[in-house]
Structure formats: structure tokens, C-alpha cells
């Protein structure tokens, strides 16, 4: 059965990681992989997470199965985190939330849910979008199309073109929107633009599908949720997938949530039964540890405060690095205007370089980034920023 198998080409980002590890240049910089890194270049375990883990270690007295929808305490507290207390109360039983194996698990579960109720439904995703959206949604059977989003030349959102395409989406379509901190471009909708999207969604009936993978890494927990909360107030049906990988630093624990909003308690109950059955058929039930940690943090005032503070530090560090990089490039009198980096949010931005320029950065300067010139801003720190700015300045000048 396996004799005729051919190998798939290696994932470019894994290749980049391997090349970075093998590089002996002491000045090498990794701007490729999408994990948060602190000033020392490590991806830390948050103190609030450590504290919650040590509590769990002493109090958890059973590892019995939890069930396909996960922990109720996680689902309830994550819903309040995503939608806010007041809106959660307002949505009431129209909203159901399920614990999922990371954001990826939530995206796939949602796609399987749509495929089950309306096979081959169309989902419009931004151009560009996170590359994994394609297998996560498409492999479930959804038909993926794109809407214009980011203009790489002008470093801005192609909002009029986006709206023109979305105007043709209707009740049988889903529209995937990044809740905040767009991956890969870092450009988010303004409040006015979210309002226009919400009005259009309500008028035309397409279903907003929000991917919230960087909640709290942009402007703040409430600010980053503005768009999705506005949509949830406006439209009758909606899907939100949130990840706890970045904002709780729980990457490998596979912790996320899927929320579905319907028009009635009865429809939500029906949706919940379908989603539970799909989860049963794929992975039976989500892993517990990360979700228990999140529930412990969100339900305890002291841990919650500690986590808020730590998340604020992460956010402020990323935003400071953005400003520092722009200043450092200006100081080198680079002809290009890189000020867009300061306006963008979250871990990613495109530098706007050609593939050849990216290759030069990798081979001549040991600055590792993917061909699209997307950088992980959190890979920058006080010790490498000058070297990085010199490298970029030299590459764009030559
Ligand atoms: N959506 C986007 C846009 C992402 O960048 C990521 C993580 N890189 C995810 C979803 C899912 O992350 P995870 O499965 O690790 O929670």
C-alpha cells in the first residue's frame, strides 16, 4: 500500500528554521516562525500560567474524560473574554462555545460543521491570508475564494475593492475576517470600516467567520475585539474561533475555542449537538491541560490581573519594537517609507521586499524571513535591531 508513496516538498518555514539553526553567524536573526519571543529571544511560559499549573497540580484529582465540548468553565470564561461580559449576557443561549484543540482545531471544526449543513459552501478569505486557512477550511470541502485586502505596494487596506467583492456575498456565503493583528500583513480594519462591514453583512446576509488568534496583542483585549463584538451585536448568525496559543503562550497545549451564534436557543442547541458529533468523529475530545489553565486564570482575580499585566507587557513590547524599527530605518536615511510598520498591529508585517532582496537578507546577513518578506516583529530585540536595520538599509539601497 505504501510502496508508491511520494514525499511532499518540505514546508518552507520548517526549512527556514533548520537553516537558521545550522547557521553559525553570531548575528543571525530569526524573523520567520510565528511565536512570540521576549527580549532574550525565548518564548516564555507566562507567570500566570505557571501559577495556574502549580495550583492544578495540587488540586486536580481526576483525569477522567471531560467530553467532546470540553470544560464548561473554560467555555464560559472564554466566551466572556471574547465577547465581553455584557454582550455574552445579551447573546444568552443564542451563543454556544466549544473548547477546541487550538485555533486550528476550531477552524477545522467550524469548517466541518458548515460542510455538514451546507456542503461545498463558499468561504471568502482575505488576499492575503494565513496560508494554513487553505488546508484547514478547504480540506473540509469548503470552496475558498478571496477578497482583496492588502495592497503590498501602498501598505494599506484595499477597502473599496474589498467591499465591492463582499457586496456580492449572500446568505449562502461565509466571510473570514481576522479579528485583529492580521496574519500576515498586520493591517487591521478601522472602527469605521468594521461598521461598514457589519452593515453590509446584515444587509446581504453573509455569515461573518472571525479568526481571533492574537486577541490582546494589538491595542488591548476590548479594543482588539471591537469588530467581532460589533458584528455579534448586528448580525443574526456568526462564527468566532479564538486561539489561546499567543495570548496565553500555550502553543503546544492546543487550546482554543469555537463560538457559534444562531438566531435562537433551539438552533444553538442543534448546532451544539452537530459540533459535538463532529468532534467525536475526529478527535473525540479536546486536550484538557491548557483549557484548565486558562479557566483557572480567567476565574481567579489575582491570576487574571497577573495575566492582564503580562499580556500588556507583550503588547507594549511589540508596539515599541515596531516604532524602534521605523526610527532605526529612518536614521539610516533609507529612501523607502517604512512608517507603515508602526501603524500595523500584532506580530507580523510585510517589509515589502522582493524575493531576491529577502534571499540577500538570508544569505548575506543571516536575517531569516519568509519569501513574502513577512517578519515576526517579536524576533527583534535591543541587541539585534541595529544589525537588522543596517541589513535592511543595505539591501534596499543596493
Ligand atoms: N489563525 C491564525 C491567523 C494564526 O496565525 C494561528 C496561529 N499561528 C491560528 C489561527 C491558530 O493557532 P493555534 O492552532 O496554534 O491556536
> Which pLDDT value is given to residue 273?
97
- Please spell the DSSP secondary structure of 38-83, one letter per residue: -TTS--PPPHHHHHHHHHHHHH--------TT--HHHHHHHHHHHH
Residues 226 and 127 in one domain: yes
| Per annotation, catalytic residue among 246, 288, 307, 345 | 246
Residue 175 in this model has a pLDDT that exceeds 90: yes
211 in any annotated domain? yes
Grid coordinates representing 101?
484543540
Nearest CA to ligand 1 atom 7: 213
For residues 389, 390, 394 and 396, what is the CA-based torsion angle, rounded to 10 degrees? 10
Atom of ligand 1 nearest to the CA of 130: 3
Residues 129 and 213 in one domain: yes
- For the Cβ of 130 lying below 6 angstroms from any atom of ligand 1, the answer is yes
Q: Using the mean position of ligand 1's atoms as its centre, give its distance from the Cα of residue 186 in Å.
A: 14
What's the chain's average pLDDT? 97
Nearest CA to ligand 1 atom 4: 213
Contact 226, 73 (CB under 8 A): no
Q: How confident is the model at residue 167 (pLDDT cuts 50, 70, 90)?
A: very high
> Which helix (DSSP H) or strand (DSSP E) does residue 125 occupy?
strand 122-127
Q: How confident is the model at residue 12 (pLDDT cuts 50, 70, 90)?
A: confident
58 in any annotated domain? no
| Per annotation, catalytic residue among 28, 30, 130, 194 | 130
Nearest CA to ligand 1 atom 1: 213
Residues 234 and 378 in one domain: no
What is the domain extent for residue 113? 65-299
pLDDT, tens digit, 9 for 90 and up, residues 70-91 = 999 999 999 999 999 999 999 9
Rg of the Cα trace of the chain? 21
> Which pLDDT value is given to residue 24?
96
Number of domains observed in the structure of the chain: 2
Q: Using the mean position of ligand 1's atoms as its centre, give its distance from the Cα of residue 326 in Å.
A: 27
- For the Cβ of 287 lying below 6 angstroms from any atom of ligand 1, the answer is no
Q: Over pLDDT 90: what percentage of the chain? A: 97
Tell the residue number behind the cell numbers 496560508, with chain if given.
Answer: 131
Which of 245, 253, 286 is the best mutation target for the ligand 1 pocket, counting ligand atoms within 8 Å of the beta carbon and taking the most? 245
Residue 10 in this model has a pLDDT that exceeds 90: no
This prediction's pTM: 0.97
Packing angle between helix 301-331 and helix 47-59, nearest 10 degrees?
150
Residue 390 in this model has a pLDDT that exceeds 90: yes
> Which pLDDT value is given to residue 33?
87
Residues 228 and 287 in one domain: yes
> Which pLDDT value is given to residue 13?
85
pLDDT, tens digit, 9 for 90 and up, residues 324-342 = 999 999 999 999 999 999 9
Contact 322, 346 (CB under 8 A): no
Q: Using the mean position of ligand 1's atoms as its centre, give its distance from the Cα of residue 255 in Å.
A: 10
> Which helix (DSSP H) or strand (DSSP E) does residue 28 occupy?
none
Contact 206, 163 (CB under 8 A): no
Where are any strands of DSSP class E within 262-389?
348-350, 367-368, 374-376
DSSP state of 94: G
Contacts of 260 (CB under 8 A, 6+ apart): 95, 96, 110, 113, 238, 239, 268, 271, 272, 275
Among 240, 266, 299, which residue terminates a domain? 299
Residues 23 and 171 in one domain: no
- C-beta neighbour count of 318 within 10 angstroms: 21
> Which pLDDT value is given to residue 120?
86
Residues 234 and 99 in one domain: yes
> Which pLDDT value is given to residue 376?
97
Residues 150 and 234 in one domain: yes
Among 248, 265, 299, which residue terminates a domain? 299
CATH number of the domain bearing residue 272: 3.40.640.10
Q: Using the mean position of ligand 1's atoms as its centre, give its distance from the Cα of residue 331 in Å.
A: 35
* Catalytic residue list contains 246: yes
Residues 116 and 22 in one domain: no
> Which pLDDT value is given to residue 386?
98
Residues 275 and 327 in one domain: no
Q: Using the mean position of ligand 1's atoms as its centre, give its distance from the Cα of residue 35 in Å.
A: 10
- For the Cβ of 208 lying below 6 angstroms from any atom of ligand 1, the answer is no
Residue 9 in this model has a pLDDT that exceeds 90: no
Residues 287 and 324 in one domain: no
Contact 281, 113 (CB under 8 A): no
CATH number of the domain bearing residue 38: 3.90.1150.10
Give CA 50 to chain center in angstroms. 23
Residues 228 and 253 in one domain: yes
- For the Cβ of 188 lying below 6 angstroms from any atom of ligand 1, the answer is no
Q: How confident is the model at residue 11 (pLDDT cuts 50, 70, 90)?
A: confident
Contact 175, 147 (CB under 8 A): yes
54 in any annotated domain? no
Q: Using the mean position of ligand 1's atoms as its centre, give its distance from the Cα of residue 93 in Å.
A: 27
pLDDT, tens digit, 9 for 90 and up, residues 130-147 = 999 999 999 999 999 999
Atom of ligand 1 nearest to the CA of 251: 15
pLDDT, tens digit, 9 for 90 and up, residues 32-63 = 989 999 999 999 999 999 999 999 999 999 99
> Which helix (DSSP H) or strand (DSSP E) does residue 274 occupy?
helix 265-282
Amino acid at each position: 500500500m505504501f510502496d508508491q508513496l511520494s514525499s511532499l516538498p518540505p514546508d518552507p518555514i520548517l526549512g527556514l528554521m533548520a537553516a537558521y539553526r545550522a547557521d553559525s553567524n553570531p548575528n543571525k536573526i530569526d524573523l520567520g516562525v510565528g511565536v512570540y519571543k521576549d527580549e532574550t529571544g525565548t518564548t516564555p511560559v507566562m507567570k500566570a500560567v505557571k501559577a495556574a499549573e502549580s495550583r492544578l497540580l495540587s488540586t486536580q484529582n481526576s483525569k477522567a474524560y471531560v467530553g467532546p465540548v470540553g470544560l464548561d468553565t473554560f467555555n464560559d470564561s472564554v466566551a466572556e473574554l471574547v465577547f465581553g461580559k455584557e454582550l455574552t449576557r445579551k447573546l444568552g443561549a443564542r451563543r454556544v462555545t466549544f473548547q477546541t484543540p487550538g485555533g486550528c482545531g476550531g477552524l477545522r471544526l467550524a469548517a466541518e460543521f458548515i460542510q455538514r449543513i451546507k456542503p461545498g459552501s463558499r468561504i471568502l478569505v482575505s488576499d492575503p491570508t494565513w496560508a494554513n486557512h487553505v488546508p484547514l477550511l478547504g480540506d473540509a470541502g469548503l470552496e475558498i475564494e478571496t477578497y482583496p485586502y492588502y495592497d503590498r505596494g501602498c501598505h494599506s487596506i484595499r477597502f473599496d475593492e474589498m467591499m465591492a467583492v463582499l457586496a456580492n456575498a449572500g446568505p449562502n456565503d461565509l466571510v473570514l475576517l481576522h479579528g485583529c493583528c492580521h496574519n500576515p500583513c498586520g493591517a487591521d480594519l478601522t472602527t469605521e470600516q468594521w461598521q461598514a462591514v457589519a452593515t453590509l453583512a446584515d444587509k446581504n446576509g453573509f455569515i461573518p467567520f472571525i479568526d481571533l488568534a492574537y486577541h490582546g496583542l494589538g491595542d488591548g483585549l476590548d479594543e482588539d475585539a471591537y469588530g467581532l463584538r460589533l458584528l455579534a451585536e448586528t448580525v443574526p448568525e456568526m462564527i468566532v474561533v479564538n486561539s489561546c496559543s499567543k495570548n496565553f503562550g500555550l502553543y503546544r497545549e492546543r487550546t482554543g475555542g469555537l463560538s457559534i451564534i444562531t438566531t435562537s436557543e433551539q438552533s444553538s442547541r442543534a448546532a451544539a449537538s452537530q459540533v459535538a458529533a463532529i468532534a467525536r468523529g475526529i478527535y473525540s475530545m479536546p486536550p484538557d491541560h491548557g483549557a484548565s489553565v486558562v479557566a483557572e486564570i480567567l476565574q481567579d482575580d489575582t491570576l487574571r490581573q497577573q495575566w492582564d499585566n503580562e499580556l500588556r507587557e507583550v503588547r507594549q513590547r511589540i508596539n515599541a519594537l515596531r516604532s524602534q524599527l521605523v526610527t532605526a530605518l529612518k536614521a539610516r536615511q533609507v529612501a523607502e517609507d517604512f512608517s507603515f510598520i508602526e501603524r500595523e498591529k500584532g506580530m507580523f508585517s510585510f517589509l515589502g521586499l522582493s524575493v531576491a532582496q529577502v534571499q540577500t537578507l538570508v544569505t548575506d546577513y543571516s536575517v531569516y524571513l519568509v519569501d513574502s518578506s513577512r517578519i515576526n516583529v517579536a524576533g527583534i530585540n535591543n541587541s539585534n535591531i541595529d544589525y537588522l536595520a543596517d541589513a535592511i538599509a543595505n539591501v534596499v539601497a543596493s
